[in-house]
Amino acid sequence: MKDSFLVTGGARLVGAVRVSGAKNSVLKLMSAALLAEGTTTLTNCPEIADVPYMAEVLRGLGAEVELEGSKVQITVPDQVEHNADFDAVRQFRASVAVLGPLTARCLKARVALPGGDAIGSRPLDMHQSGLEKLGATTRIEHGCVVAEAQRLRGAEIKLDFPSVGATENILTAAVLAEGTTVLDNAAREPEIVDLCNMLNTMGAKISGGGSNTITVEGVEKLNPTTFEVVGDRIVAGTWAYAAAMTQGDITVGGIDPQHLHLVLEKLKLAGAQVETYPQGFRVVQNEKPAAVDYQTLPFPGFPTDLQPMAIALCTVSNGLSVITENIFESRFRFVDEMMRLGADASIDGHHVVLRGVKELSSAPVWSSDIRAGAGLVLAGLVADGVTEVHDVYHIDRGYPGFEDQLRSLGATIERKVR
């Protein structure tokens, strides 16, 4: 966990990369496998640290999990343990995704309040409220969220905010509830669509995935399935910003470019040439980028997970940019590290004002979360000298083979193992 990256600035990144399945989908699909007895197989899985973490959570619940490169096989017994192990769960936020499946399958769940990235509070109130409307009682007890029910029944549920995690837990509970559930103001992210598609291949009856309103007709039983994980739009977007920052030329495959429509439009405004293909895109930047304003919003808005990359780009753009963060209040911790590198930035509440500089200056910096770590590596690519990025275990949780792919594009980057 003490590894760091030594990043040498000055390279223009050129070449092609292919993204694997989405971190923000695969962990939820692994959790959803708990809904059906038998063996579910997931393909196109990213080889990242969070996948074996989730495997440990599922093993603690009685499942057998085999990890074979990009394939994950999950064999679920007829009786599932309802108590999610504290030591496994506390390592990462996505572990809370077992709450809905356990409540549906066991009619009770006890899940330790999870850890994860230091990007701000992410309370479970909407998760709990949704489960309660389905007929469960919930409480926070001894550092765990506890849900219990005699039976689950469909309900009309409206979220105060289109929370991805709450949408996922409500869906995975509602699929085995009696009757019809209508979820209004649901999250619309491609990863939600992926979950709906997988559940439907298991025998669920879900319509409206990707829209504001999702309807679930409860069924008595689900069956195991084989399913391919959707491409990772955040990793793909990171490569797009790497091309723009280094005035490079990168082709990205394995992703539906419509999942990054606004992201690619923003890069066009910054001066990039963008070509899209059925399962990929190309970004070419031939001159210093122009300043662009951003505000993060739920999909189809600009993703908060790409906010650090947008900030990194704006620090070396011509002109003044204003970045507004509407999702996670602590994500601007990243800005403090960018200022170590010479960024001209000022923070005002949930806004940051950036004035582009000619060049960043190398310095030791620290990752506070997955995306901040990746953003700092990109910044190191356009800084003079060698930038040491510490705590890169965060990056390992979200980016498979990150340094290898960077080197394939022409970057000079070395992992320093301690």
Residue 417: count other Cβ atoms within 10 Å of its Cβ: 7
> Is 133 a known ligand-binding residue?
no
Residue 48: count other Cβ atoms within 10 Å of its Cβ: 24
- Amino acid letter, 397: R
DSSP string for 77-112: -SS---EE-HHHHTT-GGGGGGHHHHHHHHSEEEEE
Does residue 257 sit in helix, strand or coil? helix
Three-state SS sequence of 296-317: ECCCCCECHHHHHHHHHHHHCC
Q: Which of 50, 78, 85, 117 is catalytic?
A: 117
> Is 327 a known ligand-binding residue?
yes
Q: Which long-range contacts (CB under 8 A, 24 or more apart) does 345-349 make?
A: 345/311, 345/315
Residue 378: count other Cβ atoms within 10 Å of its Cβ: 25
End-to-end CA separation in angstroms for the chain: 8
Contact 243, 271 (CB under 8 A): no
Contact 94, 116 (CB under 8 A): yes
> Is 23 a known ligand-binding residue?
yes
Give me the torsion for CA of 189, 379, 27, 171, rounded to 10°.
Answer: -20
> Is 24 a known ligand-binding residue?
yes
> Is 169 a known ligand-binding residue?
no
**Cross-strand bridge partners of residue 230:** none
**Cross-strand bridge partners of residue 112:** 144
Query: Annotated catalytic, 369?
Result: no
Residues tagged in the binding site annotation: 23-24, 93, 305, 327
Annotated binding site for phosphoenolpyruvate: 23-24
Write out the binding residues for UDP-N-acetyl-alpha-D-glucosamine. 93, 305, 327
Residues annotated as part of the active site: 117
